[in-house]
Structure 1
């Protein structure tokens, strides 16, 4: 059936300047929120004598690990912003908030742990990160890509920790028993 009615073609409305500023302000707030939370936790931890310990492999100084950790927190905040731009109320937001809380607290729970306990904590955080990135990436692929560097660093940390813990524990470690020298 043919019709003679004209087609109404509408062009997408350009974003207004106020809307662009609102989006930029939301990005700045979401990116800075985990950093501010870390700063507050650092202030409280320092007051009671707990200082954060950062993962810095290969003999790198601790400040390199601190910069990497803070950069990853900013990326997690940006991932939350990208997730909120989808305007969906999915459980992925709660997963991402819980992961951010765990990643903010990680340097403060690190000092009293031995290598095996720390590697188990990092492995648990890595598995939680994999679960979170699968949920977040399904809703917003951009947010999933923003979480990828954190996933790589925490995965490397967990792998190194498990390898070092396994190297010093039986049955993988070299056994050094006290034996009397042979009489020659």
Structure 2
């Protein structure tokens, strides 16, 4: 249960954000409802996310796996729910998505580069980051410097998202459910 009301004041800024969210995602995202309590934070966060969405040096599937690994490490159920939906849109197989939180036990589902990305995202997410020189060097060699910088920034962005969402008590919003094919029963 959210620790803050998900019915913020209906300012003009919030109503515009609500319209945009419904148009983009089919629903008003709960984090937007939280940020709606502070117009300046909402505007800054929305502008930030729009700029993050334009980053393109890193393969989108690798980016999403890194995001989900960070969210899983923090334990943000809202982020995992939304991330599953985003990853599904990118064509990442469901069995791989389900395995992200336990990727070490299901390594066979992931390519070597994906394993390096998952390891790096988790190491970066530790309260005291556990990134090693070897991890960074391997990823720079495999991805190149621009994509490595983007990967690092994306994990940091997801740490922001997941930590805020977890701190305010957000839980899944049903995005994952929209990915499954309903039975004919």
Give me the TM-score of the superposition, normalised by structure 1: 0.34
TM-score, reference length from structure 2: 0.34
Larger radius of gyration: 1
